[in-house]
Amino acid sequence: MGAGDALLAIENLSVSLPGDQGPRRVLRGLDLEVERGQTYGIVGESGSGKSITALAVMGLLPDRARVEGRVLFDGHDLAQADERAMCRIRGNRIGMVFQEPMTALNPAHAIGRQIAESVILHEGASRKTARARALDLLDLAGIPDPASRIDDYPHQLSGGQRQRVVIAIALACRPDLLIADEPTTALDVTVQAQILELLTDLTERLGMSLILISHDLGVVASLCQRTAVLYAGRLVEEGPTAALLARHAHPYTAGLMAARPRLTARAGERLTAIRGTLPDPESVPAGCIFAARCPYVIDDCRAAEPALHEAGDGGHVARCIRLEAVA
């Protein structure tokens, strides 16, 4: 991983939430770096720790959560920052786009006002300037004829348009980093493509970094320069997206790729699935976290948890001792 120019560096980040039988470690020893202007994908299934990572960066984890490790944003450790300092960073330097545009907007306020609020809050702009900026932002987010929509309420917009408004709010103060947590999951397929295009386009035009969180390897593959694959709160593979797709070194990534539906499949052919289920975070087995579901498993896998092994160029790494066998 290229050091020096990292905008966001997550170092050995662990998160525990209280559970019935003691704390559940939902994220374990995560390391990753996002450079300025980079598009970074985080992939994993439900419960893999993707959203927890996003919330940890934003400092929005529940109060009960225990956080260890460091979240270095532009040199400052956000994990240690107090609430007051975080309020200045959230929405100002880091923007966030949510999965559910239907509920991420306040139903009681017009959308223009919700966008303008951010500008007023972080930049001390006057109402008039803020409204003008809200118009620009709606236009930037691809809302047609923004002047006629700025006083609309969220319920008057479609899902795709609402997501554009959510993006406009996230971009209101020109953040350095945009975190999009499953931004297209709740949308129609055609709208999904538009929103993803908008996100990459904006990232380039505004020179932001983008962290795109998704369960869809395809979405991440088409947009992101680097990709991290999480499994049960553990980073299992990380590297340049192209390298990762060319050679999915970890058996889990390989399984994800094989599980994608193909257009060339014959009618009646069954979809490939990864057998088994995610391990319970309260009783994570010793050894490799994927061992119970892995087709390549050998006795050594269960003995000790593997370290990250180099799997290719550009810092492509995978947490597996059987890289040769998988390839």
Among 96, 167, 235, 256, binds another protein (CB under 8 A): 96
Among 9, 15, 89, 223, binds another protein (CB under 8 A): 89
Which range binds another protein by CB under 8 A, 103-111, 197-205, 221-229, 263-271?
103-111
List the 316-318 sheet strands across, edge first: 94-97, 177-181, 209-214, 39-43, 226-231, 234-240, 316-318, 309-312
Closest CB to another protein among 63 and 324? 63
64 sits near another protein (criterion: CB under 8 A): no
Which range binds another protein by CB under 8 A, 56-64, 219-227, 238-246, 302-310?
56-64
Phi-psi region of 142 (alpha: psi -120 to 50; beta: other; left: phi over 0): left
210 sits near another protein (criterion: CB under 8 A): no
Among 71, 157, 172, 223, binds another protein (CB under 8 A): 172
Binding mask 116-145 for another protein (x = CB under 8 A): -xx--xx-----------------------
What is the pairing mode between strands 234-240 and 316-318?
Answer: antiparallel
Closest CB to another protein among 113 and 226? 113
- Encoded tokens for 305: 């948890």
- Alpha-carbon distance of 35 to 11, in angstroms, equals 14
- Alpha-carbon distance of 302 to 2, in angstroms, equals 32
Among 40, 73, 98, 252, binds another protein (CB under 8 A): 98
Question: Using CB under 8 A, which residues numbered 211 to 270 contact another protein?
Answer: none
108 sits near another protein (criterion: CB under 8 A): yes
- Alpha-carbon distance of 37 to 210, in angstroms, equals 7
Cβ of residue 96: shortest distance to another protein, in angstroms?
Answer: 4
311 sits near another protein (criterion: CB under 8 A): no
Cβ of residue 141: shortest distance to another protein, in angstroms?
Answer: 15
C-beta separation of 107 from 155 below 8 A: yes
CA atoms 274, 276, 277, 281: torsion sign: negative
Residue with tokens 């300092």: 85
- Alpha-carbon distance of 327 to 290, in angstroms, equals 17
Residues 6+ apart with CB under 8 A from 103: none
Which range binds another protein by CB under 8 A, 12-20, 82-90, 215-223, 284-292?
82-90
- Alpha-carbon distance of 148 to 4, in angstroms, equals 46
Among 37, 153, 174, 296, binds another protein (CB under 8 A): 153
- Alpha-carbon distance of 139 to 161, in angstroms, equals 12
C-beta separation of 225 from 40 below 8 A: yes
106 sits near another protein (criterion: CB under 8 A): yes
| Secondary structure letter of residue 90 according to DSSP | B
Among 49, 91, 183, 306, binds another protein (CB under 8 A): 91
Closest CB to another protein among 63 and 145? 63
φ and ψ at residue 30, rounded to 5 degrees: -85, 130
Binding site for another protein (CB under 8 A): 58, 60, 63, 83-84, 86-92, 95-96, 98, 100, 102-109, 117-118, 121-122, 153-155, 166, 169-170, 172
